[in-house]
Structure 1
Amino acid sequence: MNNQHQERLALLLQYLEKEQIDLAIVISPKSVFYYTGFYSDPHERFMALVLDLRNQHHYLFVPALDLEAAEATSSIKKIIPILDEQNPYQILLNKIGEGVQTIGLETKNFSLYQQEQFNLFIPGFLYQDIGEFIAAQRMKKTPDECRMVQEAVYVIEKVLTEGINRVQVGMKEVELTAELEYLMRMYGAEGPSFSTIVLSGEKSSLPHGHPDQKKINRGDFLLIDMGVILNGYCSDITRTFVVGEGTAEQKKMYDIVRESVQAGINAVKAGHTAGSVDIAARNVIKDNGYGQYFNNRVGHGLGMEVHEEPSIHEKNKLVLEPGLLFTIEPGIYIPGYGGVRIEENVYIEETGNAKVLTSFSTEFTLLGL
């Protein structure tokens, strides 16, 4: 992976030189991982990849407690540990010195507090957003990265296969959530890629609802949305089931969403726009009279983070190209009744065609019979 990190960093450095940026500070932990191979969540502590274009020096600033891990995994070998009692901005200034005029920053990840500290220790600098370039670079996945996501998909599908066999009438949503997250660890995942969503009955109409003490009852929709992190890459899958016997209305809703997902997949081709994928999936739901019950985007990018670029919404004119990896997850959500969502992970191969990474069945499935 070191060569891959060096290639990624070389492209960023070319961009910074072109933009005449003196100093770049990358503070998003996932972006630091992308360029160095070292990952840590520093919480409130300061961590950054610092690229000094004036002298071509590259530094990785880490909390002192992460020094050993950084030395073992980082492709950047000039590692600056920061003790908890030290001021990280003073340490940064001591290392880079005076005379910085333009700093490249990921402005979406830069807090007002951090800006105040930079103004105090490096007064008078101008900043330029480099976050869009980094997001665009990370958005295009290599075949190796696709394989990493695929491995994470394999794990979450094993979890789902075993997990649905543990569903029982009367089980609480939080109990099933605990079972699923236990299985994630048992199958080798680093952990969930986001807070696992288990929603039953009328609560399944909440696209991002939270599992609670509600019991899973016969006749309920059961919506499960989850993913894992494996080797730094994420998976994200949603399937919706019915517990016991389903009604004609439940099956009708389900079949429409299933058709919508397939329409979205069919629309994925290099040269088409991201918006066209959303529109293709959305029109199936609209044409069947449920348009008012689907009011969010149809998908999002997936990689080192569970939500990345591109955003698959109907107004996104981004032209799709090989290397893009994203979800397609339309749904129908009827307040007070319930909802259905089916989510697939899709990668655009060099041929320009879509490869569906998720393989768990989308057949209408009854549980607990």
Structure 2
Amino acid sequence: MSYADLALLEQQTADLAAACRAKFFSTAPELDVIITMDPVHVGYLTGYRSILQDAGPYAQAAIATRDRMVLITGASDAAAALEQLDDASCIWRYGTFYVGATAGVASYADMPAQGENYVDTVVSALRSFDLRGVRAGLDTRDERLTRVIWQQFPQAAFQNGAPSLKRARATKLPAELAFLRHASHITDKALESVVPMVHAGVTELDIAQQITGTIVRGGGIPRFVVVTSGERSSRVDAYARNKRLEAGDLVRMDIGCTVNGYCSDMARTLTVGAPSHEQAERYAALLAGEQAQIAALRPGALVSEIFNIAIDAVRKGALPEYQRNHCGHGIGLQSHEFPSIAPDSDVLLESGMVFCVETPYYELGWGGMMVEDTAIITDDGHELLTCSSRELYQVK
């Protein structure tokens, strides 16, 4: 996907959000309205994702019916929200923040009156809906806000809305898949780009910098860049350090980014110099497990069977005692989402689901290695989104 293609997709974000809302209500016909305070679900239903969420917990909400949507956000955030949503009337803001506007430009003056605080603004926005006798899904972990909503709107029948949102998000719409393809593509290219620069003496931070730059140039936002070497490669999800690579080191890279909120997650392993016999044999076992999983991805497959296929294949190789709590996971607006490829899952794969499949191995004092890829479940099998070599890279 080119920059032009990505720009066109970004322009269609509002249309995608409308399609996601329609999909939600088609999969949750028992609900008339959904109220969410989960930032992931706010983005899913509105199409707006606030950069303020990256700075820590930030109070936002979305309310949606089959024919209307509103966003509740902080006053400082409203200008960015307006750029994305292009409809001032649907943005309810709380707090005080001053942003001027040139005459004739949509502005804060076109929005509903600002609220003093988050809770009061949520209540005010809800009052703009007719909730008499409606079946309302409420998706929040804020017990205080939940009690306030129950007290203020006794005429509505509330139920937990989170399971319905999870069910709707399990399969992806075509525009969602396009974002996931782009996120996976630039992550794939980022990992490929480091191979020529890696050698003894280069630091983990040097590699992380190269990966991060490639992702940003491709239009993505780096989310986790795990580069660990030598014994540190056994340290799960550790930050890169100013550690220089040495001959014989394993280098484990586990990388993810987002494009318009949609995630990538993939991993590769390399060795500095030729791998030892043990390194090569262990990696071959892990690769066999991951490839066996990939071959089994198809609609109707049982998730727990995919897990067992991976474990059995690895154990036939140089890791006969191999253990994992999962061998992959769904991916979309979160890097780990429903369903997990786990031994106790009774979920059947469906066309439109997207999975990361992986077979990592970590041994403190020795090192770690992994291979991880992303695939869409299609009507007749799967589509791999990550295409770089899965072999154990060897660098000088």
Pair in the same fold by TM > 0.5 = yes
For Structure 1 versus Structure 2, the TM-score category normalised by the shorter chain is 0.7 to 0.9
Deviation, 1:345, is 0.5
Deviation, 1:174, is 2.8
- Where in structure 2 are the equivalents of 1:82-101 lying within 5 Å? 82-84=94-96, 86-97=116-127
**Alignment equivalent of 1:69, drawn from 80, 84, 91:** 80
Q: Does 1:169 align with 2:197?
A: no
User: Tell me, which stretches of 5 or more residues in structure 2 are unaligned?
Assistant: 1-11, 97-114
Match of 1:356 in 2: 384
Between 261-270 and 167-176, the greater mean CA deviation after superposition = 167-176
Match of 1:25 in 2: 35
The CA deviation string for residues 84-130 of structure 1, in whole angstroms up to 9 with x for no partner, is: 592111122234349888752224xx2xxx32244256538675221
Deviation, 1:198, is 0.6
Change (3 A) 1:237 1:14: closer
Answer yes or no: is the 8 Å Cα contact 2:204–2:244 preserved in 1.
yes
The CA deviation string for residues 147-199 of structure 1, in whole angstroms up to 9 with x for no partner, is: 2211112211221122222223233323322332123223332x11x321011
Deviation, 1:15, is 5.9
Q: Which amino acid aligns with 1:128?
A: Q
Counterparts of 1:295 and 1:60, CA distance in 2: 41
Answer yes or no: is the 8 Å Cα contact 2:42–2:49 preserved in 1.
yes
Answer yes or no: is the 8 Å Cα contact 1:322–1:350 preserved in 2.
yes
Counterparts of 1:157 and 1:99, CA distance in 2: 47
Q: Which amino acid aligns with 1:300?
A: H
Q: Does 1:5 align with 2:30?
A: no
Q: Does 1:119 align with 2:147?
A: yes
SS in 2 for 1:336: coil
Q: Which amino acid aligns with 2:17?
A: H
Match of 2:105 in 1: none
Change (3 A) 1:10 1:174: same
SS in 1 for 2:344: coil
Counterparts of 2:149 and 2:163, CA distance in 1: 26
**Alignment equivalent of 1:49, drawn from 41, 62, 67:** 62
Q: Which amino acid aligns with 2:80?
A: A
Answer yes or no: is the 8 Å Cα contact 1:89–1:118 preserved in 2.
no
Answer yes or no: is the 8 Å Cα contact 1:173–1:213 preserved in 2.
yes
Deviation, 1:69, is 2.2
Change (3 A) 1:280 1:44: closer
**Alignment equivalent of 1:216, drawn from 242, 245, 253:** 245
- Where in structure 2 are the equivalents of 1:232-247 lying within 5 Å? 232-247=261-276
Counterparts of 1:230 and 1:52, CA distance in 2: 27
Between 124-133 and 322-331, the greater mean CA deviation after superposition = 124-133
Q: Which amino acid aligns with 1:174?
A: L
TM-score by length of 2: 0.81
Q: Does 1:59 align with 2:39?
A: no
Change (3 A) 1:305 1:360: same
Change (3 A) 1:134 1:120: closer
Deviation, 1:142, is 2.5
Segments ≥4 residues shifted beyond 6 Å: 98-102
Q: Does 1:34 align with 2:44?
A: yes
Answer yes or no: is the 8 Å Cα contact 2:224–2:257 preserved in 1.
no
Match of 2:368 in 1: 339
Counterparts of 2:58 and 2:392, CA distance in 1: 47
**Alignment equivalent of 1:78, drawn from 69, 90, 93:** 90
SS in 1 for 2:224: coil
Answer yes or no: is the 8 Å Cα contact 1:290–1:332 preserved in 2.
no
Counterparts of 2:123 and 2:164, CA distance in 1: 25
Counterparts of 2:339 and 2:131, CA distance in 1: 37
Change (3 A) 1:106 1:158: same
Change (3 A) 1:75 1:215: same
Deviation, 1:70, is 1.8
Q: Does 1:317 align with 2:346?
A: yes
Counterparts of 1:306 and 1:132, CA distance in 2: 18
**Alignment equivalent of 1:263, drawn from 292, 299, 308:** 292
